Structure 1
Amino acid sequence: MQANNQRLTIGISELHERARAIALLLLDVDGILTDGRLYFSNSGEEMKTFHTLDGQGIRFALDAGIGVGIITGRESTLVTQRCKDLGINIIYQGVSDKSRVLDQICAEHNLSTEAIAYAGDDAPDVPVLERVGLAASVPAGHRCALEAAHMITAAQGGSGAVREIIDFILASQGKLTY
């Protein structure tokens, strides 16, 4: 399974092999779960938009036994609420060293980095993208993240990119039921 405009930096067979080993998908927020833009109301309140395709995909992943978590550099009560709504319990916000958090998650969940997929779009994500079993980014990602990724989704962040990654993992594991 490969989307029409999806770009791969490794062969499709290797990508499927990597996806079969995934037990946990970790996500950056801004630029991956959202379009990367920061919205503020007149009163200074932050606003974010999330795509329902991504939310449904996260539910499908969790139902299939694949964990989902968040590692993001920003703090947001909106992210906390969205994670609660979706059943995501692994939430790290305000993170400056994402690689250190990856080590912590691996230790807490007894997982190797090969069992983890990560989606990120910018320089703070590169140390994690370079270490995980399956590294993904989005077309609007910074060049450094695109170069570190194994796959680049056809969909933009905040527009179904997470669902695309999840569908690929589920299909590779024989768990895609739709």
Structure 2
Amino acid sequence: MEEKSYKEYLEHITTFVLDVDGVLTDGTILLTTNGDMLRTMHVKDGFAMKTAIDAGYNLCVISGGSNEGVRKRLNGLGITDIYLSAHNKIDQLNDYMKKNNIKLENVLYMGDDIPDYPVMKLVGLPTCPQDAVPEIKAISKYISHKNGGKGCVRDVIEQVLKVQKKWNGNFDAKYD
């Protein structure tokens, strides 16, 4: 039996589930002298997430991290389903899917490291950034050409929305 191309999965995606560190960020943590941990996120990933939400897609973030600054940034984009301090991501995914009546085959999950492995084995379209660890690359049906925190989320969201003809519609009509 021939393996499906990842593009064949894109038309069935209704839900994006994302990790934070190494996916929405490049994995770098800057420490201030008072112990605050700072991260950077790519504005193009933010635009894509907001576009997906506005187009009616489900979007959830599940992270082992606990930085409330991450929650504030994501809330500002309209993301309300945010699970921080998640150490067993399957529990959070199951809770989110049950609450929103979502099927596994309709979920695109993007992760980059070992804590993402169990949940990525369950979803319809496991994906990762270019700089993910080898174990995650091995189970991903799509590996972005972009690194974590450098537009990989924009890459996968844009591909799904374009295949489903929901990527920002007619630009000329919006900007005339």
Same fold (TM over 0.5): yes
The structure 2 residue matched to 1:108, chosen from 99, 106, 120, is 99
Amino acid at match of 1:75: S
Give unpaired runs (5+ residues) of structure 2. 172-176
1:39 maps to 30
1:7 maps to none
| Counterpart-to-counterpart distance in 1, 2:19 and 2:126 | 12
| Counterpart-to-counterpart distance in 1, 2:14 and 2:88 | 22
| Counterpart-to-counterpart distance in 2, 1:161 and 1:167 | 10
The structure 1 residue matched to 2:66, chosen from 75, 80, 87, is 75
Identity of aligned residues (%): 32
SS state of the match for residue 23, structure 2? coil
| Counterpart-to-counterpart distance in 2, 1:79 and 1:133 | 26
Residue 11 of structure 1: how far off its partner (Å): 4.5
Task: Extract structure 1 runs of 4+ deviating beyond 2 A.
Answer: none
Residue 16 of structure 1: how far off its partner (Å): 2.5
Provide, for residues 65-112 of structure 1, a one-character-per-residue CA deviation record: whole Å limited to 9, x for no partner.
Answer: 111110000101111111111100110000110112111111111111
| Counterpart-to-counterpart distance in 1, 2:140 and 2:132 | 10
1:3 maps to none
Higher relative contact order (CA 8 A, sep 6+): 1
| Counterpart-to-counterpart distance in 1, 2:93 and 2:163 | 23
**C-alpha contact (below 8 Å) 1:17/1:172 kept by paired residues:** no
* TM-score (normalised: structure 2): 0.91
- Superposition CA RMSD, Å: 1.2
| Counterpart-to-counterpart distance in 1, 2:8 and 2:124 | 10
Paired residues, number: 167
| Counterpart-to-counterpart distance in 1, 2:4 and 2:101 | 28
User: Aligned runs of 1:7-156 on 2, under 5 Å?
Assistant: 11-12=4-5, 15-156=6-147
SS state of the match for residue 70, structure 1? strand
* TM-score (normalised: structure 1): 0.90
Give unpaired runs (5+ residues) of structure 1. 1-9
